[in-house]
Every structure is written in C-alpha cells, then in structure tokens.
Amino acid sequence: MQKKCGFVAIIGRPNVGKSTLLNTILKEKVSIISSKPQTTRFQIRGIFNDERGQIVFVDTPGLHIPKNELGKYLNTAALKAKTDCDLVLYMVDLTRPPGEEEINIIENLKDINKPVIMVLNKQDKGTGFANDYIKLWQEKIDREKDPLKYYIPISALEGRNINELLEAIFSLLPEGPPYYPEDILSDFPLKLNISEIIREKLFNTLKKELPYSTAVMVEEIVPRKENLTYIKAIILVERESQKGIVIGKNGQVLKKIGEMARREIEFILEKKVYLELQVKVEKNWQENPLILKKLGYYI
C-alpha cells in the first residue's frame, strides 16, 4: 500500500494548545510552551512518521487582532501556512467561548480548497463550548463549499484521542514519498531554536506583559573545544526600566534565565554550553522592519 505524506497546518487563536498538541504527537519538545498567550512567533515544522506515512505539522502563531508590525507578521505567517499545506487543523479551546478572533479565522478558512478538521481541545475539562463552535462554523460556511471533514475532541495535554486524530489526518492526506528523512523531528534552524528556548524562559520567568516586549537574537554559536560550545545571545527590550527587571537585583533574574536555557540547549546539542546573555534596549523594536528581519521575521 502506498504511504501517505503531506503538510498539515495547525491554526487557531492564541493559547488554544497548538504547540502542546505538536509536542504531544511527536513525544518531543519542538515548540515552546507557556501559559501566556501568543508565545509562538514562528512557523515551526514538526515531522511525524509511522507505518502509514509522514505528516509534516506546521505550528503557527495564534491568529489575533494585531497591534503592531510584529502582530501583522504573526498573522501573515499563520495564514501563509494554510495556503502551503494539504490539510488544516482548526484548533479551538473548549473552555472559552468563540469571539471575534474566531469569526476572523473562519472567514479566512471558508473558501479554502483543502480539507479541514476542527480539533476541539481541552476535552479533559469537559465539553464546554463545543456546540457554540460547531454552530458558529455552520452559520458562517456555505454548506455546498464546506471544507470541514471531522470534528474531533481531544486533550493535547493528556494525549486523549490523539490516535483518532492521526487516523483522520492520514485518511485525508495524498499518497506520496516522504519529504524528510525518518530521523528528523524538525527543520527549525539552530539559531532560531536556541533563541526560542531563551524566549520561553523569559515568558515563564517574567511577569505580566513584560515578556511580550522582549525578543532574543542569537549572535554567535562557536565551538570552543571538542565538548564545549560558546553561544552569545542578545535579549531586546523596549525601555531601560524593562532592562533592569530582566537583569534583576545583582543579576539574579538573568542568571536564572540563563541557567534554565543553558541546560535545555546542552540537552539538544549533547555537549557543554557557555551561554552569554546580554540585555539591550531597542525602542519600538516591534515596529521596526529592519530589526524584525534580523530576528527572523520575514514580513
């Protein structure tokens, strides 16, 4: 039997569990996770293989109402994924009612000429607003052009119904050879991967809105010895007051962030790492196309 292969975009508003789903399916951490919304800023590809074939999942930034140039990029990156894929997983959070963001997402999906699976996440917390999402979809979509093939309730956190979801995906993918070797889990560039690890530690350490004003730029990755790699990364903030908070009293906050990031980077590289972190004020970096491009956001 010919194996299946294709690209699957995971689309939804911020904090619905897209990255958690990807990590659960791959049984490895390839996408950063935080309880704060809008953690993902890049398209991240995760590659799943079994006897049925290969699925290239594309984890996307959460679709939202943009407030700056960075926000516009995040939406563009998410919507580009739907045009480049073979199938869309439209993921919703059963614990939250649908809102304006949901209407915008459905408007962007209604004319798509590809199959869609609605993934109803956080089933472990009850059925919640499942009927509201299904009703909203039915109200907005022309029945004759409806691309929706399945509704599948899951718990990405607990791994519930993941096999059923994978079976549905494979049933809708085209036949074909794999795009990637079986031993590759992700094609995310190393510099961006390291910057995302550091940014995750910022999100999980800093409070309130401050993490959204930060970005990470990896400037150097230099092998120093056979078992030691030197990495230099710059943490961007928008104001001097934010710089002080990120560094912390006697540098303790920055030290904590660096230690957590270094341990994870060492696990990935399988060697010792000397991680140098610097904090730099770059006013309004989220509105500056040149800085956004340096950070890897191609608008």
Q: What is the pLDDT of residues 66-117, one digit of tens each?
A: 566 766 766 676 667 778 899 999 999 999 999 888 888 898 888 888 999 9
How does pLDDT run across 157-196, given as a tens digit for each residue? 999 999 999 999 999 999 999 999 888 888 778 888 899 8
Backbone angles phi, psi at 65, to 5 degrees: -85, 110
Q: CATH classification of 190-294 is 3.10.20.30, yes or no? A: no
Q: In angstroms, rounded to a whole number, what is the distance separating the alpha carbons of residues 119 and 163?
A: 13
pLDDT category of residue 287 using cuts at 50, 70 and 90: confident
- Residue that wins the pLDDT comparison between 296 and 49: 49
Which of 26, 58, 10 lies closest to 188, judged by CA? Answer: 58
Taking residues 226-254, what's their average pLDDT? 94
- pLDDT of 101 reads 85
Would you state the pLDDT for residue 188?
77
The CATH classification of domain 4-172, taken from the options 3.40.50.10490, 3.40.50.300, 3.40.190.10, 3.30.870.10: 3.40.50.300
Domain coordinates in residue numbering, the chain: 4-172, 190-294
In the chain, the DSSP E strands lie at 4-11, 44-50, 53-59, 87-93, 116-121, 148-153, 215-225, 228-237, 272-281
The model's pTM: 0.74
Q: Does the pLDDT at position 250 exceed 90? A: yes
The predicted pLDDT at position 193 comes to 86
